[in-house]
A and B are shown apart, each in its own frame.
Chain A
């Protein structure tokens, strides 16, 4: 399984916001959506990754992009994680059915039961504009990749 490629219409999906609301493909339409798939809340690499994106979040938002962290953690864990990092990037939970959205986007890692580390950018029509997947979870994608993906 590998990450969904550019030009592919995104599969319909339902994730949960930190407030427990549904976030679906319909919600992603009309904006440029950056889904930041990550393996686990509180793992050290993820922490660096979201702190880094937070540093350039204003610039990304000025360019019209909306970022979301996506993992198979529960909303409560995600909220605590985001809070502990002090970042404003909202988290979306793929907890139940676990990993269903990660699977649909080709970024579920079976041996660990989590998402892999991957980035997927959806254009305002819900079509995959750009995507990236790390060789292994320790590979940390710099913010430059998101800027490149948005410009692709």
Chain B
């Protein structure tokens, strides 16, 4: 596809959210938690042996709770529970209001008061903004967008894309 980025994708940072075996092929995702296609992508990737990196790309006029949920996931990350909150949000995108976020935090065993302060903090906002800006510079224009070996692939990953990704490991 046509590549329209202005800057290369930032390499993995220490505070990037990564999961999957360290030797597995890397898939960097720009997504938001209110986006249905992002959820479909999450489900699609469930059984794949890939190393996933999640970066925030919230677009509020499309998804009014995108920033709030991104901040909630970052606040959970401050208590070591990013992926648990990630999975919880995608498990039910119909319940993303503040009371739902509090009950999710509680279910995950988080310190809810701390979660509440963190998710509204400038540090957390800045962390979400950093991902969004790196996505903009790399030419992300829709969610989800997956990067494989530095190249963007918008939309839910296709079988072809996934076989390309998993072949990276054997090559």
Instruction: Identify the interface centre among A56, A139, A140, A141: most chain B CB within 10 Å of its CB.
Output: A140
A48-B142, A52-B142, A139-B2 as given contacts; A144 in contact with B136, CB under 8 Å: yes
Interface 1/0 per residue, A47-88 and B, CB below 8 Å: 111111011100000000000000000000000000001110
| With A49-B141, A135-B2, A144-B6 as contacts: A56 and B61 at CB distance below 8 Å | no
Evaluate whether A56 and B136 lie within 8 angstroms (CB atoms) in the complex, with A86-B61, A144-B6, A145-B6 already known: yes
Which residues of A are found within 8 Å of B154, using beta-carbon distances? 140
A47 to B5, CA, bound (A): 20
Q: In the complex, what's the smallest C-beta–C-beta distance from A63 to chain B, in angstroms?
A: 14
By the criterion CB–CB under 8 Å, are B61 and A144 in contact? Answer: no
Q: Using a CB-CB cutoff of 8 Å, which residues 1-20 of chain B contact chain A?
A: 1-2, 4-7
> Is B60's beta carbon under 8 Å from chain A?
yes
Question: Contact between A142 and B61 (Cβ–Cβ < 8 Å)?
Answer: no
Contact flags (1/0) for B1-43 with A, using CB distance below 8 Å? 1101111000000000000000000000000000000000000
Q: Are B5 and A51 in contact (CB under 8 A)?
A: no
- Taken together as a complex, chains A and B put the C-alpha atoms of A135 and B5 apart, in Å, by 15
Q: How many residues of A contact B (CB 8 A)?
A: 23
Q: Is the CB of B61 within 8 A of A87?
A: yes
Chain A residues near B142 (CB-CB < 8 A):
48, 52, 140
Secondary structure of the B contact surface, majority rule = loop
Q: How many residues of B contact A (CB 8 A)?
A: 20
Interface residues of A in 38-52 (CB under 8 A from B): 47-52
Q: Which 10 A-B pairs have the closest CB atoms?
A: A51-B62, A142-B141, A144-B6, A140-B141, A142-B139, A54-B61, A48-B142, A86-B61, A51-B61, A51-B59
Contacts beyond the supplied A52-B59, A56-B136, A145-B139: 6 A-B pairs with Cβ under 8 Å: A48-B141, A54-B61, A87-B61, A140-B141, A143-B141, A144-B138
Sample of 25 A–B contacts (CB below 8 Å): A48-B62, A48-B141, A48-B142, A52-B59, A55-B59, A55-B61, A56-B136, A85-B61, A134-B2, A135-B2, A139-B1, A139-B2, A139-B4, A140-B141, A140-B142, A141-B141, A142-B4, A142-B141, A144-B5, A144-B6, A144-B7, A144-B136, A144-B137, A144-B139, A147-B6
